[in-house]
Amino acid sequence: MNETLITQATKIAKKVHEHQVDKKNYPYMSHVLDVASRVSHLGESFEIVGLLHDAIEDSESDDLLNEILEEMNTYFDEEVLEAIKAMTKIPGEEYFNEYLPRLKKNKIALQVKIADSSHNLSKAHLIEEKILQDKLRNKYIKVLNELGVDGKNCEKRIINIDGKWIRKSEKYL
């Protein structure tokens, strides 16, 4: 494994996500790290794309976006760049009829999206508002089914402890 490329991807992800939080105020960077860890066994390119899967969409300024695009083009090969591009939803693109079919054509993006959606599904139980929780759970299950896996089987409840997502177990109940 090339630690240099993983380290570079982590640095880029931190530039974008370091001060961002999710719907429950957990550090967004912990989501990115969890997604990357879920695909790391598939290889370095998968882990890099896991780290950078939201970087383009979540860049908060044009200057930051231009900076990270330049860094990505400098450090990563075409396979990684194409997968990051496939992960990035184009403004106005319909999610189920345009975005997901385009994403599914890229083997790395497909696996990272499964990890991303599985992560989101696995933390949906933390949302107190039952209607919103059910809406999000159903969305992620539908996405996972569309990606070719059994969405309901992808839900493995996780909790965030000290900024890190871990599988919920009896120890923490």
- Give per-residue pLDDT as tens, 106-120: 999 999 999 999 999
15: pLDDT strictly greater than 70 = yes
* Rounded average pLDDT over 134-161: 94
> How many of the other CB atoms lie within 10 Å of CB of 139?
17
Name all domains of the chain by residue range, CATH numbers in brackets: 3-172 (1.10.3210.10)
173: pLDDT strictly greater than 50 = no
CB-based contacts of 156: which residues, under 8 Å, 6+ apart? Answer: 118, 122, 167
What rounded mean pLDDT belongs to the chain?
93
pLDDT band of residue 23 (cuts 50, 70, 90) is confident
In the chain the first and final C-alpha atoms are separated, in Å, by 37
pLDDT band of residue 172 (cuts 50, 70, 90) is very low
- Paired with 161 in beta bridges are 164
* Rounded average pLDDT over 129-154: 96
* Rounded average pLDDT over 121-128: 93
